[in-house]
Amino acid sequence: MTGPFDSGIRIGLDIGGTKIAGIALADDGTVLGRVRRPSGWGDAAVLDGAAASVIELIDQLDVSRERIRSIGIGIPGLVDAASGVVLHAVNLGVASLGLAAHVREALGVACVVENDVKAAALGAAALRRDTAPIAYLNPGTGVAAGVVIDGRIWRGARGTAGEVGHLVVDPQGRVCGCGQRGCIETLCGGGALARAWGRGGELPVRDILDAADAADETAVALRDDLFRGAAAAVRALVLAADVETVVIGGGLTALAPRIEPGIRARLRRDAVPSPFLQSLHLDERIELLPADSAVAAIGAALLSAANAPTHPLEKEIPVHG
The contact set with Zn ion (CB under 5 A) reads 166, 176, 178, 180, 183
- Write down the least CB distance from residue 184 to Zn ion, Å: 8
- Cβ nearer to Zn ion, comparing 175 with 221: 175
- Cβ nearer to Zn ion, comparing 185 with 260: 185
Query: Is residue 147 a contact partner of residue 236, using CB atoms and an 8 Å limit?
Result: no
- Write down the least CB distance from residue 301 to Zn ion, Å: 32
- Write down the least CB distance from residue 178 to Zn ion, Å: 3
- Write down the least CB distance from residue 179 to Zn ion, Å: 7
- Cβ nearer to Zn ion, comparing 43 with 163: 163
- Cβ nearer to Zn ion, comparing 47 with 192: 192
- Cβ nearer to Zn ion, comparing 47 with 144: 144
- Write down the least CB distance from residue 183 to Zn ion, Å: 3
- Please tell me the distance from the alpha carbon of residue 19 to that of residue 14, in angstroms, as a whole number: 8
- Write down the least CB distance from residue 269 to Zn ion, Å: 24
- Write down the least CB distance from residue 123 to Zn ion, Å: 26
- Cβ nearer to Zn ion, comparing 180 with 307: 180
Residue 118 exposed, middle or buried by CB count within 10 Å (0-12, 13-18, 19+): buried
- Cβ nearer to Zn ion, comparing 92 with 183: 183
